[in-house]
Amino acid sequence: MRKVLMLILLGVVAALAAATTSVQGESHSTTLTPPVTWSGIQTPKQGEGAGYYYWDSNETGPWAPAYNWRTPNGPKGWRGDDTYWTVTTPFDMRFCNTTYEAGITFYVGSNGILGFAAAGMSDPINQNLPNSAVPNAIMAILWDNLHGYSDGDIWVEVVGSAPNRKWCISYSPWYYFEAPADPIEFQVYIYEAPMSGVNNTIEFRYKDVIGDSWRDNGLSATVGLENATGSDAVQYSYNQPVLTSQLAIRYVDTNWVDDQVGEFNLLTPPDGAVVNPGDTVNFTWEKPDYDGHGVVNFTLYLADNPDFNDPLVFDLGENNYFSYIFGTAETGTYWWKVKAKESHLGITVWCNDNFSFTVSAIAVEETSWGQIKAEF
């Protein structure tokens, strides 16, 4: 269906401007509804550092993890004391704001540390992070004096397909040094990054941390992430008995969290509205909650079909309003939706619903008001 649409950007002049038109000798005006601000929940977090926030599964909220143990696959047959093994990274990783390409060497230490450099990777003496002494560029999932003993094993597998892969490395079973009778189990999940320039989300999972009474629950361990120079870290604990069995800790890029755009709804015209040719149709929607590093820009999509094939697209900048006038040749049903995109990382959110409205078949006389005509 071919239609000619006549439009005028009344809203870009002022959000509350009144639009007056003359139809069949009758004067009328409409006023834009003041935009509504959506207020979302404040994001909880336990701490931050090295480009990350972290949460554990004892918390609630959109970023807190739920504990879930993945049954290990891909046994490597690795076991031993004060040593490390090597694998290659399955995808590009950004860790502590440094990018490491796929296919480089990654080090898995017997003492519960993993990372991107060999130096210090076999050290059984844990450190308070950050610390410039080696090892650096590490994930300390349970850095303590540990041992694989004769039946220990480390498992390495890639889960899922690009661009949503996870790299899972499991110590299962493993042991505290000189405590070979009672195994412990833990694993690290490294998520493929959602976009370039964002640190990969990392999740530590602890199935069992009880294996030696005086070291249980992380009492003699370091848990956290540290950058390549040892100058910055996000530390969950150091020699504190705060770990529990069936616990998860999630580390997420601070920019990725801060620049999230909140949900938002369409306002006017309401879903199912009926308007007349010659009337000013005022499109308004909520401004989503956003406290990030950039600004939120909006794009309105308007189509004569619910699949939004061949829509009219209007880039409206930071404005959350737009005005439009339909002529007599534009009767029928229309659908509209809005996309919000923040300018720092390019995170995009669509409105919660798509609305439709109908331009009725009431005949009016088209006049020349200097509107821009756009073909549909």
pLDDT tens by residue, 250-286: 999 999 999 999 999 999 999 999 999 999 999 999 9
Identify whether the C-beta of residue 115 lies closer than 8 Å to the C-beta of residue 107: yes
Q: Assess contact for 62 and 313: CB atoms under 8 A.
A: no
- Residues 221, 135 within the same domain: yes
163 confidence band (pLDDT: 50, 70, 90): very high
Q: Which of 212, 237, 258 is the last residue of a domain?
A: 258
**pLDDT at residue 330, rounded to an integer:** 93
Same domain, 80 and 25: no
- 280 shares a domain with 246: no
CA 73, distance to chain mean position in Å, is 27
How would residue 243 be classed by pLDDT, with cut points 50, 70 and 90? Answer: very high
Together in a domain, 68 and 179: yes
Q: Tell me how crowded residue 68 is: count the other CB atoms within 10 A of its CB.
A: 11
pLDDT at 220 over 70: yes
Q: Does residue 250 sit in the same domain as residue 267?
A: no
For the chain, the residue count is 376
The pLDDT-based confidence of 367 (bands split at 50, 70, 90) is: very low
pLDDT score recorded for residue 2: 31
pLDDT for the residue 145: 98
Same domain, 58 and 205: yes
Residues 206 and 148 in one domain: yes
Is a pLDDT exceeding 70 seen at residue 41? no
Instruction: Output the CA–CA distances (angstroms, integers) from residue 84 to 87, 139, 200, in the order listed.
Output: 10, 14, 23
Q: 179 falls in which pLDDT band (50, 70, 90)?
A: very high
For residues 27 and 112, state if they share a domain: no
pLDDT at 248: 98
pLDDT at 15 over 70: no
- Say yes or no to pLDDT of 64 above 80: yes
Domain end marker among 212, 231, 258: 258
> In this structure, are 249 and 301 located in the same domain?
no
Query: Quick count: other Cβ atoms within 10 Å of Cβ 312?
Result: 18
Question: Is the CB of residue 53 less than 8 Å from the CB of residue 47?
Answer: yes
Which residues on adjacent β-strands are paired with residue 140?
Answer: 113, 224
Residue 45 pLDDT greater than 50, yes or no: yes
Please give the average per-residue pLDDT across 74-78, as a whole number. Answer: 98
CA neighbor of 64 nearest in space, from 233, 223, 252, 200: 252
pLDDT band at 337 (very low <50, low <70, confident <90, very high): very high
pLDDT in tens, 125-136: 999 999 999 999
pLDDT of the residue at 44:
60
Q: Please compute the mean of the pLDDT values over residues 64-91 and round it to a whole number.
A: 97
Q: Say if residue 241's pLDDT is above 60.
A: yes
Q: Is the backbone of residue 317 left (phi > 0), alpha (psi -120 to 50) or beta? A: left
Strand-pair partners of 248: 205
Is residue 373's pLDDT more than 70? no
For position 43, what pLDDT does the model report? 56
Q: Which CATH number belongs to the domain containing residue 341 in this structure? A: 2.60.40.10
Instruction: Average the pLDDT over 153-179 and give the result.
Output: 97
Which of 233, 258, 283 corresponds to the end of one domain? 258
Based on the domain organization, do 332 and 356 belong to the same domain?
Answer: yes
Neighbours of 46 (CB within 10 A): 14
Statement to judge: residues 297 and 336 lie in one domain: yes
pLDDT (0 to 100) of residue 345 = 96
- Asked if 87 contacts 102 with a C-beta cutoff of 8 angstroms, the reply is no
| Amino acid 20: pLDDT | 33
Question: Which residues share a beta bridge with 7?
Answer: 372
Range 114-120 average pLDDT: 98
- Mean pLDDT score of the chain, rounded to an integer? 88
Domain ranges, residue 339? 4-40+262-375
What is the reported pTM?
A: 0.82
Residues 89 and 139 in one domain: yes
How many structural domains comprise the chain?
2
